[in-house]
Amino acid sequence: MKAIIVHGGAGRWGEERLKHALPVLKEAAEVGYSLLDEDPVKAVEEAVKVLEDSPYFNAGKGSVLSIDGSLEMDACIVRDNPRLVGAVIGVRRVKNPISLARIIAERTSHHVMYGEGAERIARLFNLPEGNLITDYARRRLERVREKLLKEEVGDDLSLMAKTIDLIRKYPDLFIGTVGAVATDGRSVVAGTSTGGTSVKLPGRVGDTPIPGAGTWAENGCGASATGIGEGIIQMLLTKTLCDRVAYGTPLKEAAEELVRRTEYPVGVIALRRNGEVVFAYNTDFMPVALKTEEKKEVEVYGVQGKSSRT
Ligand code: GLY
């Protein structure tokens, strides 16, 4: 059974941004679905590219900035069978980090590359570069800095504690990450792309490019996570989800239980080779769009407060 589900990031979405983001999310699902017969890896790559090219998502062009104003983007793509794993960490100029993750998976002997070395591979394969720092991202960083400065910051540890407090209080500032999971009924592919979290220190790596944390596919199951990466890394959320399903836990139960147990704001989309699709999140919103063989229209969920569905 063919299916694709895409997400635009767990968090608290404002009405205006959601209005702009939803048509793009639907387009991503349509574009991905239309490529499923050709190649599910391409389907996921192209769906994620649609979101990376939009300024309304925290990935590619809309990426949030590190606390020093720099841009560091991560992406990962995984296919269950035949096994394919590619991830890129901390690239600054590559317009579509998901395409670089795919090149690393298919054209190098490595699974994960970072920084300048990864950028060199991007140039070798003529991937487009772009100015990806938007005015919105700059303004958002200023808001975060102001909030941080208002807190009394003592030593390094209290800075981290306050950062976590801030994340909990203002999840809308940390909205993040895009992802897609698709199946053509034979293999399952998951892809995720992000600018990271707003108050990250330069050099911080989140869950997205860590295979098994933010992105995974195995044994006919695939998942892409969103939210505060530290919480997702602690659970190795997407790998744990696929393992649980392999050992017999229903997809919906596995997704909901893992999200519930995470102490951070997070969400996950997942599907199985048989076309079963799920999403779960503990934030106010997590816009998702899905298209399956059963329905002609793209369905949209996660835009009216907390819920989950199979
Ligand atoms: N989930 C994206 C990040 O924490 O970097």
Contacts of 19 (CB under 8 A, 6+ apart): none
pLDDT for 245-281, tens place per residue? 999 999 999 999 999 999 888 999 999 999 999 999 9
- Counting from 1 in the atom list of ligand 1, the atom nearest the Cα of 229 is 4
The predicted model gives 70-77 an average pLDDT of: 96
Q: Which of 302, 7, 4, 16 is nearest to 176 (CA)?
A: 7
> What separation in Å is there between the alpha carbon of 208 and the centre of ligand 1?
6
pLDDT for 127-163, tens place per residue? 999 888 888 888 888 877 777 666 654 444 454 566 6
**Which of 163, 207, 224 is the pocket-test mutation for ligand 1 (most atoms within 8 Å of CB)?**
207
Query: Contact 181/5 with Cβ under 8 angstroms?
Result: yes
CATH class label, 3-309? alpha beta
Q: What is the pLDDT of residue 309?
A: 43
* 288: helix, strand or coil: strand
Residue 222 φ/ψ, nearest 5 degrees: -145, 155
Sheet with 178-183, strands from edge to edge, namely 112-114, 84-91, 73-79, 188-194, 178-183, 3-7, 288-292, 299-301
Sign of the alpha-carbon dihedral angle for 205, 66, 46, 283: positive
Helix H or strand E segment including 193: strand 188-194
Amino acid letter, 295 = K
The rounded percent of the chain whose pLDDT value lies above 90 is 72
The predicted model gives 220-244 an average pLDDT of: 96
Residue ranges lining ligand 1, Cβ < 6 Å: 176-177, 194, 196-197, 206-208, 214, 226-229
Please, where are the H alpha helices in the chain?
15-34, 40-52, 97-107, 115-124, 135-150, 156-169, 229-235, 237-246, 251-261
pLDDT for 88-131, tens place per residue? 999 999 999 999 999 999 999 999 999 999 999 999 999 999 88
> What separation in Å is there between the alpha carbon of 31 and the centre of ligand 1?
24
Q: Which residues pair with 79 in a beta bridge?
A: 84, 189
The rounded percent of the chain whose pLDDT value lies above 70 is 89
Q: Which of 273, 298, 297 is nearest to 288 (CA)?
A: 298
Q: Which of 133, 105, 229 is nearest to 179 (CA)?
A: 229
Q: What is the DSSP secondary-structure string of 246-276?
A: HTT--HHHHHHHHHHH-SS-EEEEEEETTS-
Q: Which residues pair with 278 in a beta bridge?
A: 270
C-alpha span between 189 and 78 (Å, rounded): 6
* 29: helix, strand or coil: helix
- Counting from 1 in the atom list of ligand 1, the atom nearest the Cα of 194 is 2
Domain boundaries, the chain: 3-309
Q: Which of 177, 219, 256, 191 is nearest to 5 (CA)?
A: 191
Q: What is the pLDDT of residue 149?
A: 65
User: Is it the case that residue 174 has pLDDT exceeding 80?
Assistant: no
The predicted model gives 225-237 an average pLDDT of: 94
Q: What is the pLDDT of residue 272?
A: 98
Contacts of 60 (CB under 8 A, 6+ apart): 49, 51, 52, 53, 54, 73, 95, 96, 97, 132, 193, 195
Q: What is the pLDDT of residue 164?
A: 62
Catalytically active residues, by annotation: 177
Q: What is the pLDDT of residue 265?
A: 87
Dihedral angle over CA of 106, 109, 112, 118, nearest 10:
-80
Average pLDDT for the chain: 90
Q: What is the pLDDT of residue 263?
A: 83
Contacts of 238 (CB under 8 A, 6+ apart): 190, 212, 213, 214, 215, 216, 222, 223, 224, 225, 232, 268, 270
> What separation in Å is there between the alpha carbon of 294 and the centre of ligand 1?
32
What Rg do the C-alpha atoms of the chain give, in angstroms? Answer: 18
